[in-house]
Structure 1
Amino acid sequence: MPNRPRFFTPAQVAAHNTAADLWVSFLGKVCDLTPLMKQHEGDVLLLPIMEFAGKDISSWFDPETRDVLTFVHPLTDCVSYYTPRGRFVHIPPAGPRSDWASDIEPAWWKDRRYEVCSEETLAEILERYLPYNSHACSYTWKHNGASLDMSKTLSQNDVPDDDVKLQKLRLDCDLFTPAILLHFNDDLTEG
């Protein structure tokens, strides 16, 4: 089984510091923005991101909203994104423009597809559980009545992570954990 890290050190993130392999960290997560760099290749809005390749950009974000920092513009009295290093990809321009696609959803900092995942497969979770139950391999794992593929992660098995929805509703995420049912099989494993 692959040995995935549970966290990434600043040095590990710093190793990914080119346009062809670009990671950033912010607010406790690590994102691989290499696909974003390829998608917007040559766009000047990539410059602030490239300047911070392999670095932490938490100072760009509000820890409570997990969105880019904002301020009230002194001339327009409108709420605007605060980007002292310059506007970057998915940040709208200051005023109305006909060349700006406003239907970008979600912005890269909210898109979980860019997160560097270290999620374990169910088989790796089972392996950690074996010291506590030597017959752990004798169970079929199910969620919503469907058997789970042990070679896949919870996300890949469509077991939802509803933390964002629960946080918006101001509910304690620990009280609403998705249930995985273990069904005992008659054949006991030897071990």
Structure 2
Amino acid sequence: MIYTKQEWYTPAEVAVHNRASDCWVSLNGKVFDLTPWLVEQFKVCKCTKTCSCAVKNWFCGDDCVEYCPCFKRGYAYCDAKRLAMTILAYAGKDISHWFKGDEWVRYLHPVTGLSTPYQIHGHGPRQPVVPSTMWRPLQKPWWLDEGLVVGKATAKTRPIRIINTLTGATVTLEVCSEETIFQIMMRYLPHNSHMLSYSWRYLGRGLCLTKSLADNGVPDERDRLSAVALPENMHIPALLIYYNDDLTEDPHRDDCFCHDLACMLNESQKCGPIKQ
């Protein structure tokens, strides 16, 4: 067994990363970890802040507004922090609707008639929408930084049951439709750390570990069930794992772990056509 890095992520897995210290978003089929980017954005403005409280105490009231000298001087240096707060508000969500391809969605400004990026929370109070010396070039857009990509966002999830015929234990997992059987095995690993001694089968036939569930002939019948007004979870396909009764032991995860996707492909395994 070769332990590999996760490639595909479900919306539920992205949604749990919704804090400033752990911020993920999905965009155009990619999953970004924006935590280091947020740290840098919050450091952009280093000026001393002042608040709107009339009486300066050790605590501020609920209606306190924090002022930045940058805006008073007419500079837009704090726009980066404002963009970071906008991203943080959508942490754990999909923001593909903000973009068209690799660029922000744009609109024609009603006054200037110029093509202007459409920001869902609006521009900053000093952000110009016309040619101005206050414009700052975007040197390295975060949405084009491959170093922030942690994986791919699935187009569709599907449930699958895994039944251990030795113990009778059943585990239902939400997996990505693009994942191979080997990648599904990685999801099942916390429930059975001795999978090297099991054979995976569906309806009595062996499964090709380098192919997806659909390619292995495991159907997703939720659409058919919904078409006849039946619950989607009325029937979930089941993969049966059979103990091989051998003495092999899985290597420790720290001793055999690879981040390369090629490690998931077992070149010695020959998978023939799947019989329907």
Shorter-normalised TM range:
0.5 to 0.7
- Could you state the TM-score of these two structures normalised by the residue count of structure 1? 0.57
How far does the alpha carbon of each residue in 1:57-113 deviate from its partner, in whole angstroms, 9 at most, with x for none? 111111xx321101111211111101122349xxx74234545431x3331111111
Task: Please show how residues 28-43 of structure 1 align to structure 2 within 5 Å.
Answer: 28-41=29-42, 43=81
Match of 1:121 in 2: 260
2 CA distance for matches of 1:113 and 1:81?
24
Match of 1:184 in 2: none
2 CA distance for matches of 1:129 and 1:87?
53
CA contact (8 A) 2:30 2:151 kept: no
Paired residues, number: 126
Match of 1:132 in 2: 270
Q: Return 5+ residue gaps in structure 2 as ranges.
A: 44-80, 153-257, 272-276
Shift of 1:4: 2.6
Structure with the larger RCO, 1 or 2 (CA within 8 Å, 6+ apart): 2
Residue 49 (structure 1) aligned with residue 82 (structure 2): no
Match of 1:75 in 2: 111
Q: Of Structure 1 and Structure 2, which has the larger fraction of its residues in strand?
A: 2
Query: Helix, strand or coil: the match of 2:267?
Result: helix
Query: Helix, strand or coil: the match of 2:266?
Result: helix
2 CA distance for matches of 1:122 and 1:4?
8
Task: Please show how residues 1-191 of structure 1 align to structure 2 within 5 Å.
Answer: 1-41=2-42, 43-62=81-100, 65-87=101-123, 93-102=128-137, 104-117=138-151, 121=260, 124-125=263-264, 127-132=265-270
| Aligned partner letter, 1:13 | V
RMSD in angstroms over aligned alpha carbons?
Answer: 2.7
Query: Helix, strand or coil: the match of 1:129?
Result: coil
Shift of 1:30: 0.4
Distance 1:101 1:68, change over 3 A: same
Distance 1:2 1:101, change over 3 A: farther
CA contact (8 A) 2:4 2:259 kept: no
Query: Helix, strand or coil: the match of 1:84?
Result: coil
Q: Return 5+ residue gaps in structure 1 as ranges.
A: 134-191
1 CA distance for matches of 2:261 and 2:11?
28
1 CA distance for matches of 2:83 and 2:5?
33
Distance 1:2 1:19, change over 3 A: same
| Aligned partner letter, 2:150 | V
Distance 1:87 1:129, change over 3 A: farther
- How high is the sequence identity, in percent, across the aligned residues? 34
Match of 2:171 in 1: none
Deviates more, 1:16-25 or 1:78-87: 78-87
Distance 1:97 1:39, change over 3 A: farther
